[in-house]
Amino acid sequence: MKIKEANQITGGLSSPSKMPCHGFSITAKACITGQKLRNVVGSICSKCYALKGRYGFPNVRKALETRLANLFHPDWVAAMSTLIHKKEKSGYFRWHDSGDLQSVLHLRNIVEVCMRTPNIQHWLPTREFSIVSEYVKEFGPLPKNLTVRLSALMFDGPAPVTVAKRLGLTTSGASKQDFSCPASKQDNKCGECRACWNPAVANVNYKAH
């Protein structure tokens, strides 16, 4: 498959300025859990970065909505695999710098892409715990090159460690005080840090923003 066709099918990859790699994003307005948390005071989703700034530009909004609409195209897995294989040279990939899992089928397709790109370490943060739980129950463990981090719901709230341990996954949180992500000290970029992609790092804590 050619890159042009793969872009048409998937809506193309994203290029988050913070990341050392490409990503894939859909509109945050489609977040299942995020929609419920958006009006909850103190929730991380109430300060969603993906609903402001450059994410609100018309061309960006259109791209996010196109990717969402094309998620279940019959050739989506092949097209995504093609784009990552041909365009990603860093060895890393970020899922959902905007948006979140939509269904078990969505996660299953992501897993298939990961299996087709074994030379890439993938990172997927999510608040859709039930979708991940259902996937693992039905299909078994996730591939080793996919680090799924179950994300905390509240600022300074606990990371979902119990669920993560049951599923053999990692977690992340957001704090107004202590944090381990170094991005805020290095121009809001990952720099040389790859903790989020590393399954040996049990929890990554981000500074509230």
In order, the DSSP letters of 163-198 are HHHHHT-EEEEEESS-----GGGTTTS-TT--GGG-
Q: Is residue 160 part of a domain?
A: no
Q: Is-contact 21 88, C-beta < 8 A?
A: yes
Q: Is residue 7 part of a domain?
A: yes
The DSSP symbol for 118 reads T
**What band does 54 get if pLDDT is binned at 50, 70 and 90?**
confident
Q: Which residue has the higher pLDDT, 117 or 182?
A: 117
How far is the C-alpha of 16 from the C-alpha of 56, rounded, in Å?
A: 14
Q: Report the 10 Å Cβ neighbour count for 126.
A: 21
pLDDT greater than 60 at residue 179: no
Q: Is residue 79 part of a domain?
A: yes
**What band does 186 get if pLDDT is binned at 50, 70 and 90?**
confident
pLDDT at 206 (0 to 100) = 84
pLDDT at 176 (0 to 100) = 59
Q: Please state the domain count of the chain.
A: 1
**What band does 46 get if pLDDT is binned at 50, 70 and 90?**
confident
Q: What is the mean pLDDT of the chain?
A: 91
pLDDT at 72 (0 to 100) = 95
Q: Is residue 27 part of a domain?
A: yes
pTM of the model: 0.92
Q: What percent of the chain has pLDDT over 70?
A: 96
Q: How far is CA 13 from CA 25, 66, 67, 112, in A?
A: 8, 11, 9, 17
Q: Is residue 101 part of a domain?
A: yes
Domain that holds residue 52: 3-154
How far is the C-alpha of 80 from the C-alpha of 9, rounded, in Å?
A: 9
**Mean of the pLDDT values across residues 68-85?**
97
pLDDT at 146 (0 to 100) = 98
Q: Is residue 82 part of a domain?
A: yes
**What band does 189 get if pLDDT is binned at 50, 70 and 90?**
confident
- 209 Cα distance to chain centroid: 18
Q: Is-contact 99 25, C-beta < 8 A?
A: yes
Q: Is residue 25 part of a domain?
A: yes
